[in-house]
Amino acid sequence: MRVEVVCALAEIQHCVGLDLPPGATVADAIAAAGFDANAALVVQVGIWNRPVTLATLLREADRVELYRPLRADPKLVRRKRAERNPVGVQPKRRVSRS
């Protein structure tokens, strides 16, 4: 069965295509690709953007993704940006006096 293991770091992305036997798990795919699932850079794994465990069985054409920790919480970043520039509030304009 053909699967793909993807790990995207901040500076580089790795994508490894593998041929694995039926019954292979996510952990098997990660090991065969040469990644360490227990590394500090990997906080979670998923298949096609859905979180799974290392014991999850793989299917043909699955894409195993290794997720790194976020630098900032996206919800908090959006909230702070909205506080700085609320919707419907126009920025103050300078009036030139000539």
| pLDDT over 80 (residue 95) | no
% of the chain with per-residue pLDDT over 90 = 48
Tell me if 29 sits within 8 A of 19, measured CB to CB: no
Structural domains in the chain, CATH included, are 2-84 (3.10.20.30)
User: CA 57 → CA 15, 42, 52, distances in Å?
Assistant: 20, 19, 10
Which of 15-19, 24-28, 41-45, 49-53 is predicted with the least confidence, judged by mean pLDDT?
41-45
How does DSSP classify residue 11? Answer: S
Q: Kindly report the pTM of this predicted structure.
A: 0.69
- Please tell me the predicted confidence (pLDDT) of residue 36: 76
3-state secondary structure of 73: coil
